[in-house]
Chain A
């Protein structure tokens, strides 16, 4: 079993306290995604607004019990994400902050780009987006069709992206596009949503409504040469490779909020169905054991990412595949403890069951995770003891 150190325990305790503030807001945000604008001063939201910003660019980290936090460690992020998602996964995703694009800028940006990006983030609450998926290219994002073509002293972006979180609220973000055929022909650029030709229209979803995923249209959006990421790196380290590396780092976090959704449902049953008959109690205890197991798997993947172990991406796939199924199962099972009409009488549980469905797709579906894991297994790169 993996045990947390004192530093990580400190952020776990604090996140747990903060997350209590979110529960009463969860249904409000589900009913009205714009409610996020009314809750920017909620402690957890203002923490997320500044996380992750690496020490070099963040003179003012969050200090908890004497420990400094920049949100850059994967283990601390998954521990934090689980607790916040127990409060409300919708709010976790709706919050402003660097999130996914931050990870990309951190690994692909040059000093000037980082300075520009992080100073925007630290100035005021700023939403960001990460645009990889396209209408015709989801799991097979490497075959994307959006183009980045030279135009005068810069470039021009053309194409469409779909299911992009927060893009309608965001100021800045990362867009992936193709400069030429093949996997090395993919490039990431920094884009501003105020640029002419950039439009993002919200899509209504069945759950995680706070996130506001969108359809993005890129109609001759001009990108200055200075906004192309990774130019100082070798070509093999720029495009899809960087997306994959970035997603490897982020995937344990997605797994953690699946875990948080599951735990939220589990705790709801414990709080609202005291005195369960023995058989039901055993069933609930078993769910608790499944939650513990998946948490260990996620922590293991997070530690692998932090240690830059070659197996990290595969372990992250294992954690994500398991956590998305757990989220679905736990929320459905939780409803089973309340009898007929449970979804109408316990709207929070219905919301959890709707939210849980999203975890399967974010940052790669279960099948894609399993195929990735298999590659690791086949090539002997899956770290197994």
Chain B
């Protein structure tokens, strides 16, 4: 994966596309690993309040983590391991770094991470859409499949519209091109699309693994790195 330290549109676009494809095809662990390599090769990426949610090996590799200005050394006595989540393809670890100055959300690598994360989350949402279409095609009702019910078609079309808009907004964007509020908005939009898909997946999407977990992990990533959607904008 190419580094985004000296970005030009073509490199960045190619990187985003690969991240999104990885998320859609291989899942969250390889996609986050590739995102970290691309935007923060030296440190553990942390959210504005000092949390991290990353694949296990990333959590264990780095002796520095993002803080106020740049990287600050990690110390075991100032870090809490909050939870581990076994997902398809590996384990994600949630951490909290205590007593660090808040991460400066205006810094370039942080903005690259939150934008790249939106691409990863879009890829995960597209994976859910694929799963959902397969699920609905396989469910019989009356004379046809659930995929052929008009209400279902309408909901799937709504998801596709969201995906198209999100993609168009982000296409060609370099880190910093979209202001922070716009990035937060995009993340919220992805969450809403995922929720529509979850409703279409029936109780299957409520099981602890599979698409129901993909959606929850994707929401957790947004929560940690951009904060949950609040009308007041980023906090």
Seen from chain A, the residues whose Cβ lies within 8 Å of a Cβ on chain B are: 133, 136, 138-140, 143, 162-163, 203-207, 213, 277, 279-280, 283, 328, 332, 335-345, 353-354, 357-358, 360-361, 365-367, 370-371
A-chain residues with CB within 8 Å of residue B140 when the two chains form the complex:
136, 140, 143
A-chain residues with CB within 8 Å of residue B225 when the two chains form the complex:
340
B-chain residues with CB within 8 Å of residue A345 when the two chains form the complex:
49, 96
Q: Mark B187-215, 1 if CB is under 8 A from A, else 0.
A: 00001000100110011011111001100
Contact between chains at A138 and B207 (CB < 8 Å): no
B-chain residues with CB within 8 Å of residue A341 when the two chains form the complex:
47-51, 96, 223-224, 227
A-chain residues with CB within 8 Å of residue B199 when the two chains form the complex:
360, 365-366
Report the Cα distance A261→B195, complex, angstroms: 17
Contact between chains at A344 and B208 (CB < 8 Å): no
B-chain residues with CB within 8 Å of residue A332 when the two chains form the complex:
191, 228-229
Partner of B83, one of A204, A328, A344: A344
Contact between chains at B224 and A203 (CB < 8 Å): no
Partner of A361, one of B191, B206, B232: B206
Contacts A139-B141, A338-B228, A341-B49 hold; do A206 and B202 have CB atoms under 8 A apart?
no
B107 contacts A by Cβ under 8 Å:
no
Report the Cα distance A354→B207, complex, angstroms: 11
Contacts A140-B140, A206-B213, A361-B203 hold; do A344 and B94 have CB atoms under 8 A apart?
yes
B-chain residues with CB within 8 Å of residue A203 when the two chains form the complex:
207-208
Report the Cα distance A366→B49, complex, angstroms: 36
B151 contacts A by Cβ under 8 Å:
yes
Report the Cα distance A138→B213, complex, angstroms: 21
Partner of B230, one of A140, A336, A343: A336
Taking A342-B228, A343-B228 as known contacts, 5 extra A-B pairs with beta carbons closer than 8 A to each other, sorted by chain A number, are A133-B203, A138-B203, A328-B195, A332-B228, A341-B50
How many residues of B are counted as interface, with CB atoms below 8 angstroms from the partner's CB atoms? 44
Q: Quick one: which of A342, A344, A361 has the most chain B CB within 10 A?
A: A344
Seen from chain B, the residues whose Cβ lies within 8 Å of a Cβ on chain A are: 47-51, 82-83, 94, 96, 139-142, 146, 149, 151-152, 191, 195, 198-199, 202-203, 205-209, 212-213, 216, 219-220, 223-232, 235
Contact between chains at B232 and A280 (CB < 8 Å): yes
B-chain residues with CB within 8 Å of residue A337 when the two chains form the complex:
230
Query: Which label, helix, strand, loop or mixed, suits the secondary structure of the A interface?
Result: mixed
B-chain residues with CB within 8 Å of residue A340 when the two chains form the complex:
47-49, 51, 223-228, 235
- Name the residue on B nearest A277 (C-beta): B232
B-chain residues with CB within 8 Å of residue A357 when the two chains form the complex:
198, 205-206, 212
Report the Cα distance A118→B129, complex, angstroms: 46
- Name the residue on B nearest A162 (C-beta): B203
Give min CB distance, A159 to chain B, whole Å: 16
Contact between chains at B216 and A344 (CB < 8 Å): no
Contact between chains at B141 and A336 (CB < 8 Å): no
Report the Cα distance A267→B80, complex, angstroms: 28
- Name the residue on A nearest B192 (C-beta): A332
The 10 closest A-B pairs by CB, nearest first: A336-B230, A204-B208, A340-B227, A339-B235, A335-B228, A341-B51, A341-B49, A140-B141, A340-B48, A340-B49
Contacts A140-B141, A140-B142, A344-B94 hold; do A336 and B231 have CB atoms under 8 A apart?
yes
Contact between chains at A339 and B82 (CB < 8 Å): no
22 contacting pairs across A/B (C-beta < 8 A):
A139-B141, A140-B142, A143-B141, A143-B142, A163-B203, A205-B206, A277-B232, A279-B231, A332-B229, A336-B231, A339-B48, A339-B227, A339-B228, A339-B230, A340-B226, A342-B227, A344-B224, A345-B96, A354-B216, A365-B199, A365-B202, A366-B199
